[in-house]
């Protein structure tokens, strides 16, 4: 059987997309499929502790999401532009996505926060991305924290009031443009219960 990405397309009604997170992370729904009995159950995520056994290893991605979405303007025309940081290449050079990208040709200078942060477009990429080099005073991450926004998926229309809700409770290493979303449902208390059951907690870093 030959599969294409189109085989995984499905309609998701907008009214079924949660716009704000639950107050208690572990109260989210969890679907449990049991192979032996061929059953499907709807449970709450906190019951994941019942699916783990002593000696198991739970591997978690400790990447931390950057406030990677910036809104600025072209320095010459003041046209508005949106920039999403994807990957730090080296020093102050980043791979980015821009909207509208056609306005950001090599040599274009972008300004954010009344010039507190600037970016010069160095290169256009085949997939439509741009390589930019930032200039600023002080520390880049601190400047980004004050000017950037959390890069929520496009189907989330509500503004995020607490940026930490788009981080896992074990997020540690800065570098992602999106959260490892399955991990958002864990709480410190739930992880402690899992650990006390004899499950080994293992962390690795995979930037999204």
pLDDT digits (tens, 9 = 90+) for 121-150: 999 998 889 999 999 999 999 999 999 999
Does the domain at 69-147 match CATH 2.40.10.240? Answer given as: yes
Name the residue among 184, 193, 159, 164 with its Cα closest to residue 48. Answer: 193
Flag whether the pTM goes above 0.85: no
The domain spans of the chain are: 69-147
Read off the pLDDT of residues 168-203 as tens digits, 9 standing for 90 and up: 999 999 999 889 988 999 999 999 999 999 999 999
Confidence of residue 71 (pLDDT cuts 50, 70, 90): very high
User: Across the chain, what does the average pLDDT equal?
Assistant: 93
Between strands 117-124 and 80-90, the pairing is unpaired
Which of 62-76, 150-164, 193-207 has the lowest average pLDDT?
A: 150-164
ω into 100 cis (within 30 of 0): yes
The answer to whether the CB of 87 falls within 8 A of the CB of 95 is yes
């Amino acid at each position: 059987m030959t599969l294409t990405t189109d085989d995984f397309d499905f309609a998701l009604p907008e009214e079924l997309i949660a716009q704000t997170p639950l107050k208690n992370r572990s109260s989210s729904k969890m679907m449990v499929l049991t192979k032996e009995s061929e059953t499907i159950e709807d449970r709450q995520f906190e019951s994941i502790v019942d699916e783990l056994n002593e000696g198991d290893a739970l591997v978690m991605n400790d990447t931390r999401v950057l406030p990677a979405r910036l809104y600025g303007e072209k320095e010459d025309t003041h046209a508005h532009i949106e920039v999403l940081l994807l990957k730090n290449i080296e020093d102050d050079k980043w791979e980015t996505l821009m909207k509208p990208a056609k306005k950001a040709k090599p040599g274009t200078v972008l300004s954010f926060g009344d010039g507190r942060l600037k970016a010069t477009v160095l290169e256009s990429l085949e997939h439509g991305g741009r390589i930019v080099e930032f200039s600023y005073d002080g520390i880049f991450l601190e400047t980004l924290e004050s000017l950037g926004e959390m890069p929520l998926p496009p189907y989330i229309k509500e503004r995020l009031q607490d940026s930490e809700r788009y981080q896992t409770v074990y997020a540690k290493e800065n570098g992602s443009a999106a959260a490892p979303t399955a991990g958002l449902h864990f709480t410190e208390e739930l992880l402690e219960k899992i650990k006390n059951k004899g499950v080994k907690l293992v962390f690795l870093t995979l930037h999204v």
